[in-house]
Amino acid sequence: MYKELIGKIVDQARSEEANLVIWDRRDTFTVESDDVAKIEVADDYLRVDMQDGKASVYVMHESIYKLVVEKERSGKSRSGTRAGFGVTNN
């Protein structure tokens, strides 16, 4: 994944106050909209400060295979509108 593309998706999540869902080789996790502002896009990794800076999560760009902006909907359904991209290795 390219730093510029990852940066655009993080910026979109920030501007829409949306969650960011990250799939990497190890796990899938959601960065809630409050924490999206605490993401740093470095040259080789994403760094997310979580729980008021008590924990930092580093995700290497090359290990990300899907990154999605998830906007919460009002109502009972937890799933929202999703926009993002995925990468496959052939």
pLDDT band at 5 (very low <50, low <70, confident <90, very high): very high
* 3 state SS of 75: coil
Write out pLDDT tens, residues 61-90.
999 999 999 987 554 445 555 555 554 444
Total domains in the fold of the chain: 1
Q: Residue 8's domain is classified under what CATH number?
A: 2.30.30
Residue 23 forms beta bridges with which residues? Answer: 28, 66
Share the mean pLDDT of the chain: 82
The secondary structure of residue 49, as a DSSP letter, is E
- Structural domain range at position 21: 3-86
Whole-structure pTM value: 0.74
- 33, 27 in Cβ contact below 8 A? no
